[in-house]
Structure 1
Amino acid sequence: MTANTQQDPEQYGSDTATPADLPTQYAPAEVEGKLYERWVERGYFEADPKSGKPPYTIVIPPPNVTGSLHIGHAFEHTLIDALTRRKRMQGYETLWQPGMDHAGIATQNVVERELAAEGKSRHDLGRAAFVERVWQWKAESGGQIAGQMRRLGNGVAWGRDRFTMDEGLSRAVQTVFKRMYDDELIYRAERIINWCPRCLTAISDIEVDYQDDDGELVSIRYGEGEESVVVATTRAETMLGDAAVAVHPDDERYAHLVGKRIKLPLTDRSIPVVPDAHVDPEFGTGAVKVTPAHDPNDFAIGQRHGLEPIEVLDERGIVTVHGPFEGLDRFEARSTIVAALRAEGRIVSEKRPYVHSVGHCSRCKTTLEPRLSMQWWVKVAPLAKAAGDAVRDGKVDIHPQELSQRYFDWVDNLHDWCISRQLWWGHRIPVWYGPGGETVCLGPDEQPPSGEGWTQDSDVLDTWFSSGLWPFSTLGWPEKTEALEKFYPNSVLVTGYDLLFFWVARMMMFGVYAMDGVPPFHTIALHGMVRDEHGKKMSKSFGNTVNPLVWMDAYGSDAVRLTLASGANPGTDVPIGEDWVKASRNFANKVWNATRFALMNGATVQGPLPAPEEMTAEDRWILSRLNAVITETDAYYDDYQFAKLSDTLYHFAWDEVFDWYVELTKTTFQKGGRPAEVSGRVLGEVLDVLLRLLHPVVPFVTETLWTTLTGRESVVIAAWPADSGFRDEAAEREIGTLQRVITEVRRFRADQGLQPGQRVPARLSLDGTSLAAHEDAIRALLRLEPEGEGFAATASLPVAGATVALDLSGAIDFAAERKRLTKDLGLAEKELKQTTAKLGNDGFLAKAPDDVVAKIRTRREAAEADIARITEQLAGLPTA
């Protein structure tokens, strides 16, 4: 079987399936792994760029090579897999592109921890040996998530698996860097960056996690007497690097100080007072300390006034200024400096604790340090404009549309992107420096300069640089490959709204730039975050994180997938709890058991469907509903409404197929003959189509059942069902009436306290109604015996033009039942009286919110209905 080859839907296997082909119970652990490996071996998930089929392409958001499958991965991968499985069945040449990100900082940290356990550092090994050690770690321990993705059922093209440090992708990275350097979109400059003293590297703005920390706000007096000024700071240690005090040019309080110099406490320096419009005269004292080497706003002020930056902290956050504070850690220096200022009488006020927002490294959670540093930058303005225009011009749709504004808010306000990292693991910046100050940027086919004194830049590129090229670098770019021609641009990007900034915007910028103005995908389908069952964010500190592998072990991968898909409304967060996974497991079991029952009762896919005139009303009804569900499912898929499509299929399968159609046809099968053959073929058709509709979301159980039912090779390559257009409104009305009768009588039985299996005599008056043909089914489903000798109706239920009279004598205690109903009637009458009084109170109606009034009206209507029902039940009870 070649990759992505579809079976002819008309050619089914010749052997009729039997229940013996299926175990009595579904055991996911015994099925899933074997099925997945069979799919991979047969090449179902591979993509053929030479195919004449229309392409459908989705890239996997590349997980970190250090990572394992978490609940967010499981959620997103379920949605992507459902889309690609359906498109494959629809006849598309589908490519779900797999791969992993080299995760520069995270991976280097992992390997450095291993070395530390051995009493070594990367510097002991040297750069080349350390990088080789990381590659060794990847080969031995990295990428475990790939095996976990198989557990989930990811239908990715493993033959095209990529890694961001692969030779081909590295070539793409160097090509883009060189082109952007030549176009003056990449430059090197000294600026304030976010620095992690733990990871010892710069990180970009989007990798900063801000959180409220307890700190201190200290007000310090600079200068003496009338030529003094009070400034406030949360980072007293940086005062050692102050280059000025800034005030607003129009602030008359400080007009006499502008242009003068004042003494900087604890130092032998004096600093100028400068006027700058950036200062808010209404905030604090209206005067701010200016530390150009340790704050981005201060750096800008310093440039405007020609101030010399003074670095006072090294890369590890240690004070470097000569004096009593030299060698202190930044936090130790903070308290020590405040104490020294207090001793000199310089502290005007102290506020402690002072809660304020502080940036932390998203990887190691260390408090970041703004630091002046020479780094490489991307000039994002023209790239961001092109990325924004691609959405504004309709080349790319963002779904749901209301999230488009988030995208515009980001790309329209991007700052230049710091892309260099002080690491050894990653794509090394392809720039060489000569002994005479020369700078040479090299493309992938260019040789480094020869001669003494030439050195390559020691930094590597931000991981997001290489992952931003993912939609086209994975297809062989910069070469003009068949895969690139076939599968670019991607059909859709499925990702979380939180990655609009990290990843999506970068892919849009790079795609439009490198691919001649063609964006990397047609649609961006955004989903939310997975939360716990109470809607709370998952966090290790909260103790509410979920390991999807544990649930998969306990309930099967299909159950986890169905639960996740059932909560996936576009752009909104997804609550999930173990009880919901259990319910999904129960659904898989229900599908299994119902299919076994159907096979036991002659369900078959052999031969054409019988003519409608040979079918019963329930046959025509279920086929009519089946075709309507196909159309609904297609519409929800096309709108990325995974929750709605899952709910539609769940309830159609459980409620309509299993609880109604299968039950209604039991009497037909028991009688045998041609009607049973017809219903057997209809039931086979319904199950065939239903299993195909369910397959993208629950692939394992449907594969086992469908191949057993049809005798075909695999549902993975079966044709996606199409709406035949068959509708039978008359049958739908007829079965709807039948359902109302059965539902009403079942409720009455329950109200009377009858056990579900308890049989009672009944007279059915069905003449002149469409129900006459269903008497056997009605009696079977309601456990109603024929009237028999001595029948005496003790209750009569008129429903839908028919009458069901029951003889309950001997079945219930009438005195106890009358007492129970009388009590219920009293409660209903009390509720009616209370709600009527409230709704008759003009003062209440004038003050109460509309929704409160509406709820009370609903309660009154329910009370009225209860009174009518209970009164009728009391009237039907014998008086003696």
Structure 2
Amino acid sequence: MELDKSFDPHSIESCWYPFWEKEGLFKARNQSNTSPYSILLPPPNVTGTLHMGHAFQHTLMDALIRYHRMQGDNTLWQAGTDHAGIATQIVVERQLESQGLDRRTLGRDSFLEKVWQWKEHSGSTITRQMRRMGSSCDWERERFTMDEGLSKAVNEVFVRLYQQGLIYRGKRLVNWDPVLQTAVSDLEVISEEEQGFLWHIRYPIVNQPGQFLVVATTRPETLFGDMAVAVNPQDDRYQSLIGQYLALPLTDKHIPIIADDYVDSNFGTGCVKITPAHDFNDYQVGLRHQLIPINIFTKEAKLNEHVPTEFQGLDRFVARQKVLEQLESQGLLAESKKHTLMVPRGDRTRSVIEPMLSDQWFVKMEGFAQQALELVSSGQIRFIPENWTNTYNHWLTNIQDWCISRQLWWGHRIPAWYDENGNVFVAHSEAEAQSLAANKKLKQDDDVLDTWFSSALWPFSTLGWPDKTKELDTYLPTNVLVTGFDIIFFWVARMIMMTNHFTGKIPFQEVYITGLVRDAHGQKMSKSKGNILDPIDLIDGIDLESLVHKRTSNLMDPKQAKTIEKATRNEFPKGIQSFGTDALRFTFASLATHGRDIKFDLQRCEGYRNFCNKIWNATRYVLMNLPDHESTFEITPRTFGLIDRWMLSRLNQAIKEVREGFDTYRFDMASRSIYQLVWDEYCDWYVELAKTSLGSTDQDIQYATRYTLIHTLETILRLTHPLMPFITEELWQKIAPLMNRHDKSIMVAPYPEFTITQFDDQADKEISLLKELVNACRTLRSEMNLSPKDRVPLLIVGNTDNLHSFADHLAHLGKLSEVQYVDSQVLDNTTAPVAVVGDYKLMLKVEIDVDAEIQRLNKQIEKLTIEINKARQKLSNTSFVDKAPVEVVNQEKERLTQFEKQVTDLTVQVSRLKQ
């Protein structure tokens, strides 16, 4: 059976993924006679493209799904995308701007038509890219957070929570983006360190002419919203002033001096202006002291009617300068200092976020949070690594009510209607609301729900809730959620809350938190740094000019673009070569270490591309060495030779290690075991050893070796398939018929099982000795500068009973003309090079340079002496001897004995050479 000479990943990938989909191999079977195994795909934004974080996490999810599918489990990888309210609306609004259009001019209905058109045209980009990564989702069950079924679930949840008194409308402080003119979540706010100023402002004390409290602030433009000045109750400087009043600068208002532990006496002047409508901490202080907040900003972050006339309509930063000028002219600006501060900016608009008091819809979180904490503390839900439980607990024990309304047009519109008197009617539909309102004239709430609201329902809304479906019974709870630490609170916790509240179940049994994919230098990947890698570029390759254009084309700052271009040209002078999907996936798996971010180095990709070539070439060798008459291996050999028993034992050990890796989410350990098995054991040793057996005149030995070659290779392909699906499918289709396997695809072939009876300690020991002897021979040849063509005799002293079983293999791999067993006197009376391996002495029978040989032996003695000193030091350490396991101490003693014996033998050899 022929196989192409070279491995071409693109031709393979383009062939097999369509085959898998056409054959329906990704479909969930929803069978009751098999164990369910399900994973939720964290729904990527419909606006998005596949980035390295996606590709990394999707690789791990797909590996788990394929692993369990091959075990016969009833698997479901639930796919879908999120409507991404803000992100999507921004994209479409920018498109309209380029056409000279505005959403407000179009009107809500026409604008939403444009959004849906765009979604249908461009919204499936990321799912197409996921297919390139080999993701085996059940695409027939793909959902969208605004499709009909999920919209029904969203409405049902909102109505029920409202009826249960868990959703309410109120005036609260929220993150306000003045450009988008909507509330945004904390996750959409990026706080960055920037250079600003700390201004010290004099607030006159009422009825004390010439007396002031000096207040330090970074935001003088908000003083019109000040409702008090606070000091620490333990601050002796201000004890006598607590309860008195201050004249609010630039106004005719008086505000009280209050005492609150929130104030840090050591910061600034120890006096803090309290602006409850525009600062989250101040808002809490205001609640404690019954201060009435006053909002001084419009939706555009301009000063409104609650400020003096001359400031009304000014942008907040323009107003800041005018306030400072007025304060200085009145002698109220005491000082200004440069000050480093954290500035909150919208992640999409980069505008400074304004804490804003506004009417919003909220979910009461206290009860939800308590239940969510208990589900984790009781062990029903487990975080991996476990330390993320602390993060989860911290967030939930400091929770605030959840603002779920957004001032957007794209999203799930809030199912609430108002009559002319402002009375609210929450209902599933307008008709139902009309019925509740006794057919009064109603207007629906203009706001939409936070995207995280619909995402919180993902575990059960995708399975058909609120209807009772077989999928809900079968696949909920899912087995594991694979996600990042940054959305533990925003998404993970809320899914736990909502799923438990509405279904009585947990959404998932385990939460596997992955690290962040960083560049090779440990830097976070970002467009502004110009260090982003596109996983599709790693699969297909990209030339330098295209890569430079990709990294710089959207940058507004020419200087920044130039810097990034230079860095890109230095790092990738020839662009990025094509690695193929399998090499990329195996790289991700090998880097998936618990609790660590990932430094992504392209050299790893290159190494695993070579690994793919290694598997390909090994398969070609095996197929080429099959006789024409031997088309299948239906009969297991009656006996196996030493090398066959060793290979089968090593294969069995690797199966155990890889399965443990998958079961414990140690993808790095699983990939390492596969790599060592394939490259080190099978290709570098067994295939080479097999060449001797295949040349044997004994037909039974030949058959056993060919069987082991085929069986091991076929098993390796099934073992590796979850991580490298394409190459394993291609090769397995060639190999499987030889082992009488007739599954349609490797995807549904059984995953290898390990068997305790297949461990062969004796074979492992003998082959370990053979390896040491071969390596010693190779070292001797290298040090003596022998050509590979020069086959020389090996003289060996030791217990020859252990060597007969592999003497032919030793001669083949050591490039020896023969192996001669001699007594020690023969080696004692020669000046030839000698190597010591355990109880054996080895000598290549050639003429040598005596001085060079003495020098070589002395170097070996020096190395062994270092090891002897280390072992003696360890054994003289009473702490080690007393605390280490007995077997570890005994092992160290054996090593010391062996090293000392080798030094003795080598020293004798040196003495003999000097005679």
- Regarding TM over 0.5, the answer is yes
Contact 2:831 2:913 in 1 (8 A): no
Partner of 2:660: 635
CA RMSD of aligned residues (A): 3.3
Partner of 1:616: 641
Partner of 2:382: 397
Tell me how far apart the structure 2 counterparts of residues 429 and 747 of structure 1 sit (CA, whole Å). Answer: 77
Partner of 1:417: 402
Partner of 1:844: none
Partner of 1:254: 238
Q: State the SS of the aligned residue for 2:800.
A: coil
**CA apart distance, 1:45:** 0.5
Partner of 1:62: 43
Partner of 2:844: 806
Listed one character per residue, the Cα deviations across residues 745-771 of structure 1 (whole Å, up to 9, x for unaligned) are 222333334455654343456773322
Question: Residue 285 of structure 1 aligns to which amino acid in structure 2?
Answer: T
Contact 1:825 1:870 in 2 (8 A): no
Tell me how far apart the structure 2 counterparts of residues 829 and 657 of structure 1 sit (CA, whole Å). Answer: 31
Q: State the SS of the aligned residue for 2:387.
A: helix
Tell me how far apart the structure 2 counterparts of residues 510 and 688 of structure 1 sit (CA, whole Å). Answer: 45
Residue 573 of structure 1 is aligned with which of 567, 589, 597?
597
Partner of 1:12: none
**CA apart distance, 1:876:** 9.8
Partner of 2:583: 559
2:269 counterpart of 1:269: no
Distance 1:730 1:829, change over 3 A: closer
Partner of 2:729: 703
Greater mean alpha carbon deviation, residues 149-158 or residues 294-303: 294-303
**CA apart distance, 1:531:** 1.9
Greater mean alpha carbon deviation, residues 477-486 or residues 243-252: 243-252
Contact 1:471 1:488 in 2 (8 A): yes
Contact 2:586 2:724 in 1 (8 A): yes
Partner of 1:15: none
Partner of 1:301: 285
Distance 1:829 1:700, change over 3 A: closer
Q: State the SS of the aligned residue for 2:758.
A: coil
**CA apart distance, 1:366:** 2.5
Q: TM-score, length-normalised on structure 1?
A: 0.89
Q: State the SS of the aligned residue for 2:661.
A: helix
Q: Trace 1:397-796 onto structure 2 (pairs within 5 A).
A: 397-443=382-428, 447-449=432-434, 451=439, 453-515=441-503, 517-553=504-540, 554-602=578-626, 606-608=632-634, 610-611=636-637, 614-671=639-696, 673-711=699-737, 712=742, 713-724=744-755, 725-755=757-787, 758-764=790-796, 768-786=800-818, 794-796=832-834
2:273 counterpart of 1:289: yes
Question: Residue 133 of structure 2 aligns to which amino acid in structure 1?
Answer: L
Residue 325 of structure 2 is aligned with which of 329, 339, 343?
339
Greater mean alpha carbon deviation, residues 744-753 or residues 169-178: 744-753
Q: State the SS of the aligned residue for 1:624.
A: helix
Contact 2:191 2:342 in 1 (8 A): yes
**CA apart distance, 1:245:** 2.0
Unaligned runs of 5+ in 1: 1-17, 840-856
**CA apart distance, 1:779:** 1.4
Contact 2:167 2:362 in 1 (8 A): yes
2:79 counterpart of 1:98: yes
Residue 326 of structure 1 is aligned with which of 309, 312, 316?
312
Tell me how far apart the structure 1 counterparts of residues 904 and 449 of structure 2 sit (CA, whole Å). Answer: 74
Question: Residue 602 of structure 2 aligns to which amino acid in structure 1?
Answer: E
Tell me how far apart the structure 1 counterparts of residues 508 and 661 of structure 2 sit (CA, whole Å). Answer: 20
2:372 counterpart of 1:387: yes
Contact 1:512 1:518 in 2 (8 A): yes
**CA apart distance, 1:29:** 0.7
Q: State the SS of the aligned residue for 1:401.
A: coil
Tell me how far apart the structure 1 counterparts of residues 814 and 446 of structure 2 sit (CA, whole Å). Answer: 80
Greater mean alpha carbon deviation, residues 128-137 or residues 335-344: 335-344
Greater mean alpha carbon deviation, residues 161-170 or residues 41-50: 41-50
Tell me how far apart the structure 1 counterparts of residues 270 and 842 of structure 2 sit (CA, whole Å). Answer: 86
Tell me how far apart the structure 2 counterparts of residues 869 and 587 of structure 1 sit (CA, whole Å). Answer: 42
Distance 1:876 1:745, change over 3 A: farther
Greater mean alpha carbon deviation, residues 75-84 or residues 540-549: 540-549
Tell me how far apart the structure 1 counterparts of residues 302 and 604 of structure 2 sit (CA, whole Å). Answer: 51
Greater mean alpha carbon deviation, residues 317-326 or residues 231-240: 317-326
Contact 1:605 1:710 in 2 (8 A): no
Tell me how far apart the structure 1 counterparts of residues 388 and 496 of structure 2 sit (CA, whole Å). Answer: 16
Tell me how far apart the structure 2 counterparts of residues 793 and 605 of structure 1 sit (CA, whole Å). Answer: 53
Tell me how far apart the structure 2 counterparts of residues 420 and 676 of structure 1 sit (CA, whole Å). Answer: 74
Question: Residue 325 of structure 1 aligns to which amino acid in structure 2?
Answer: F
Partner of 1:13: none
2:228 counterpart of 1:244: yes
**CA apart distance, 1:182:** 0.7
Listed one character per residue, the Cα deviations across residues 14-44 of structure 1 (whole Å, up to 9, x for unaligned) are xxxx2x1x10111001111210110011000
Q: TM-score, length-normalised on structure 2?
A: 0.85
Greater mean alpha carbon deviation, residues 488-497 or residues 262-271: 262-271
Tell me how far apart the structure 2 counterparts of residues 314 and 870 of structure 1 sit (CA, whole Å). Answer: 91
Question: Residue 623 of structure 2 aligns to which amino acid in structure 1?
Answer: L
Distance 1:532 1:211, change over 3 A: same
Partner of 1:852: none
Q: State the SS of the aligned residue for 2:679.
A: helix
Question: Residue 651 of structure 1 aligns to which amino acid in structure 2?
Answer: Q
**CA apart distance, 1:826:** 11
Greater mean alpha carbon deviation, residues 447-456 or residues 60-69: 447-456
Greater mean alpha carbon deviation, residues 72-81 or residues 682-691: 682-691
Contact 2:303 2:312 in 1 (8 A): yes
Partner of 1:359: 344
Distance 1:277 1:870, change over 3 A: same
Contact 1:605 1:685 in 2 (8 A): no
Contact 1:793 1:805 in 2 (8 A): no
Partner of 1:374: 359
Contact 2:412 2:449 in 1 (8 A): yes
Unaligned runs of 5+ in 2: 541-577, 821-826, 875-891
Percent identity reads: 43
2:92 counterpart of 1:124: no
Question: Residue 315 of structure 2 aligns to which amino acid in structure 1?
Answer: D
Contact 2:838 2:902 in 1 (8 A): no
**CA apart distance, 1:819:** 6.8
Partner of 1:147: 128
Contact 1:56 1:95 in 2 (8 A): yes
**CA apart distance, 1:74:** 0.8
Partner of 2:180: 199
Q: State the SS of the aligned residue for 2:750.
A: coil
Partner of 2:294: 310
Question: Residue 57 of structure 1 aligns to which amino acid in structure 2?
Answer: S
- Number of residue pairs the alignment of both structures matches: 836
Residue 117 of structure 2 is aligned with which of 132, 136, 158?
136
Question: Residue 796 of structure 1 aligns to which amino acid in structure 2?
Answer: V
Greater mean alpha carbon deviation, residues 81-90 or residues 195-204: 195-204
Partner of 1:5: none
Contact 2:151 2:412 in 1 (8 A): yes
Q: State the SS of the aligned residue for 1:449.
A: helix
Contact 2:39 2:481 in 1 (8 A): yes
**CA apart distance, 1:350:** 1.6
